[in-house]
C-alpha cells in the first residue's frame, strides 16, 4: 500500500508482515506511546508485534516516543510549519485522504506537542456505495438538501464522496450537475498537487483545505455550483454558511456526527439548519444506510 | 638548454596558475554566499506565503544556480523514511562542492536543528536570521576578496619568478 511508504522502516516491516487479506481490511492503525501497535478492522481490534503477527497485548513490544516523532516528521513531510493549523486542531491529512488524529499536550498558543498517540484512519474509495440512495436525492431534476449522519468511523465520508461522484457524473434518470466540494480536511477528494486522488466525478470542483465557513461562500461566488458537498458540519459558523448556500438556491449535501436526527437536532449550533434538510440518511457501524424522516421538525 | 627553458616556463606557468586559481576562490566565495542568500530568501518566501512543504520547496530551488545543495536535500528526504530534514541538509551541505570557509559552513549549519520541525513563525525567523548572517559573511568575503585576491595572484607570479631565479 502506498501509505506504508510514509511510515518509518520498522513500522513498514510490521505492516508488511500482516496477512494480505487483513491489510486490505485495515480501517485504523493506532500508535500509542508505551503501548503496542493496534489495528482496527471493522469491529475487530487486535495488537501486533514488530513482525506484524497478531499477539496478546502483554507480549507485544510497546511503541516508543521516537516512533511517534519519526511518524510525525514523515507525515508532515518534514514541514511542521505547513501543517500548523491542522495540528492545532489535532489532525493531519496524508496524501490519499488518510486522516491522522493526534493526541498530546495542547499548549496555550494553540500548538500540539509531546505527541502521545496517533490514529491513522485509512481512506478507501468505495465506488457505488451511494448507488441505492442516489435516486432518493433527486426530485423533479433538482437535488434535495441532504444530511448524512453516523457516529465516527462508519463511512460518512466514503458515502459522501460517492454521492458527489454520482451527482457529478449522473446516473440513470439523472444527467449530472455541477458539484463543488468544500473539503476542509482534504478527506473527500484527497487532493494532491491540485488533483483529486479519489474519484469525485467529472463535474466536480474541489476547494481543498479551506474552513467550511470560508469555502462555501467562496464556492458560491466563484464556481456557480448547483450542489455543494461538505463533510462534518458542527460549528455555528458551518451552520450559517450551509444556510447561506441553501438560501442561494444551491443544494447542500452535508454530514454530521450523530446516530439519529434527534441527536443532531439537540446540538444548539445545528438546531436551526436541520429542518432545512429534505433528506436524512443514517449509517450504522455495519455501514448500513437507512433513511430517516425529519417528520417531527 | 631548450629543455631547461621549457621546464622554467612550465614552472612559471604552474606557479602563476596556482596563484590565480587561489585568487579565484575569493571571488567564488563571494558569489556563492550571495547566491545562497538569494536562495534562502526564495525559500523563506515559499514558506511565508505558500506554506510549501520543505521537499517540494527545496526541489524547486534546485533549478537555480547553486541549487544543487537544496535539490540533493530534497532527493534524500524523498528517498528515505529514516532521515530527518536536519540530517539530509547537513549531509548535502558537506557533500556540496563549494568554496566557503569554515565560518561560512558554521553559519549554514546553524539552520539544521530547526529545519522542518518548527512552527511557521519560528521557521521564518530562523531563515531570516540565517540570511542576515549570510549577508554579514558576504560583506566579510567581499572585504577579503578586495584585500587578498590580487595579492594571491601576484604571489603566484612572484613565487614562479623566485623559483626560476633560484633554479636557473
A104-146 pLDDT, tens digit per residue, is 998 888 888 889 999 998 888 889 999 999 999 999 889 999 9
Rounded-to-integer distance, Cα A151 and Cα A243, Å:
23
Chain B: which residues have CB within 8 Å of chain A?
47, 51-56, 77, 81-82, 84-85, 88, 115-120, 122-124
The answer to whether residue B1 scores a pLDDT higher than 90 is: no
Cβ contacts from A onto B, under 8 A: 62
Confirm or reject contact between A6 and chain B (CB < 8 A). yes
Rounded-to-integer distance, Cα B76 and Cα B80, Å:
6
**Dihedrals phi, psi of A200, to nearest 5 degrees:** -120, 10
Q: What is the pLDDT of residue A295?
A: 55
Confirm or reject contact between A117 and chain B (CB < 8 A). no
Q: What is the pLDDT of residue B160?
A: 84
Confirm or reject contact between A211 and chain B (CB < 8 A). no
Task: Determine the length of chain A.
Answer: 297
Of B81, B85, B122, the CB nearest to A8: B81
Mean pLDDT of all residues in A72-88:
89
The answer to whether residue B39 scores a pLDDT higher than 70 is: yes
B16-36 pLDDT, tens digit per residue, is 888 888 888 889 999 999 999
Contact between chains at A81 and B120 (C-beta distance less than 8 A): yes
- Rounded to whole angstroms, what are the CA distances from A245 to A206, A212, A238, A249, B39? 16, 11, 11, 7, 44
Contact between chains at B81 and A7 (C-beta distance less than 8 A): yes
Confirm or reject contact between A113 and chain B (CB < 8 A). no
The answer to whether residue A231 scores a pLDDT higher than 70 is: yes
Residue with cell 503496542: A36
Confirm or reject contact between A9 and chain B (CB < 8 A). yes
CA geometry: angle at A175 spanning A173 and A179, to 5°? 125
* Most confident listed range (A10-14, A149-153, A239-243): A239-243
Task: Give the CA count within 13 Å in the CB-facing half-sphere of B160.
Answer: 19
Among A195-199, A235-239, B149-153, where is mean pLDDT lowest?
B149-153
Mean pLDDT of all residues in B69-74:
94
pLDDT grade, residue B163 (50/70/90)? Answer: confident
pTM for this model (two decimals)? 0.76
Mutation target vs A (from B46, B57, B119, B126; most A CBs, 10 A cutoff): B119
Amino acid at each position: 500500500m502506498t501509505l506504508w511508504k510514509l511510515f518509518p522502516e520498522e513500522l513498514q516491516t510490521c505492516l508488511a508482515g500482516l496477512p494480505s487479506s487483513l491489510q486490505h481490511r485495515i480501517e485504523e492503525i493506532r500508535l500509542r506511546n508505551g503501548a503496542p501497535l493496534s489495528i482496527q478492522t471493522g469491529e475487530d481490534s487486535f495488537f501486533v508485534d514488530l513482525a506484524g503477527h497478531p499477539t496478546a497485548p502483554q507480549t507485544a513490544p510497546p511503541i516508543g516516543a521516537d516512533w511517534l516523532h519519526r511518524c510525525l516528521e514523515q507525515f508532515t513531510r518534514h514541514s511542521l510549519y505547513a501543517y500548523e493549523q491542522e495540528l492545532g486542531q489535532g489532525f493531519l491529512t496524508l496524501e490519499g485522504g488518510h486522516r491522522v488524529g493526534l493526541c498530546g499536550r495542547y499548549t496555550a498558543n494553540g500548538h500540539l506537542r509531546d505527541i502521545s498517540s496517533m490514529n491513522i484512519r485509512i481512506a478507501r474509495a468505495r465506488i457505488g456505495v451511494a448507488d441505492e440512495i442516489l435516486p432518493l436525492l433527486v426530485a423533479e431534476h433538482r437535488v434535495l438538501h441532504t444530511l448524512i449522519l453516523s457516529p465516527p468511523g462508519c463511512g460518512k465520508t466514503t458515502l459522501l464522496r460517492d454521492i458527489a461522484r454520482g451527482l457529478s457524473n449522473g446516473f440513470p434518470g439523472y444527467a449530472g450537475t455541477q458539484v463543488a466540494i468544500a473539503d476542509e480536511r482534504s478527506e473527500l477528494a484527497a487532493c494532491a498537487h491540485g488533483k483529486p486522488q479519489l474519484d469525485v466525478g467529472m463535474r466536480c470542483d474541489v476547494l481543498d483545505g479551506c474552513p467550511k465557513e470560508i469555502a462555501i461562500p467562496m464556492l458560491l461566488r466563484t464556481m456557480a455550483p448547483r450542489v455543494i458537498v461538505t463533510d462534518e458540519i458542527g460549528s455555528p459558523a458551518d451552520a450559517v454558511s450551509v444556510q447561506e448556500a441553501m438560501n442561494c438556491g444551491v443544494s447542500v449535501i452535508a454530514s454530521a456526527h450523530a446516530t439519529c436526527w434527534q441527536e443532531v437536532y439537540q446540538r444548539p449550533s445545528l438546531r436551526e439548519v436541520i429542518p432545512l434538510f429534505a433528506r436524512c440518511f443514517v449509517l450504522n457501524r455495519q455501514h448500513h444506510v437507512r433513511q430517516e424522516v425529519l417528520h417531527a421538525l | 638548454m631548450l629543455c631547461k627553458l621549457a621546464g622554467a616556463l612550465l614552472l612559471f606557468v604552474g606557479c602563476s596558475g596556482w596563484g590565480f586559481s587561489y585568487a579565484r576562490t575569493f571571488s567564488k566565495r563571494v558569489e556563492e554566499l550571495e547566491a545562497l542568500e538569494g536562495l534562502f530568501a526564495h525559500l523563506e518566501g515559499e514558506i511565508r506565503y505558500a506554506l510549501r512543504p520543505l521537499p517540494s520547496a527545496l526541489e524547486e530551488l534546485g533549478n537555480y544556480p547553486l541549487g544543487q545543495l537544496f535539490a540533493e536535500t530534497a532527493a534524500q528526504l524523498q528517498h528515505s523514511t529514516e532521515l530527518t530534514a536536519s540530517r539530509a541538509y547537513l549531509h548535502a551541505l558537506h557533500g556540496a562542492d563549494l568554496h566557503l570557509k569554515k565560518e561560512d559552513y558554521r553559519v549554514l549549519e546553524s539552520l539544521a536543528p530547526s529545519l522542518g520541525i518548527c512552527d511557521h513563525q519560528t521557521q521564518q525567523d530562523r531563515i531570516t536570521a540565517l540570511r542576515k548572517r549570510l549577508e554579514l559573511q558576504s560583506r566579510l568575503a567581499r572585504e577579503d576578496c578586495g584585500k587578498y585576491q590580487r595579492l594571491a595572484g601576484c604571489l603566484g607570479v612572484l613565487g614562479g619568478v623566485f623559483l626560476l631565479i633560484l633554479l636557473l
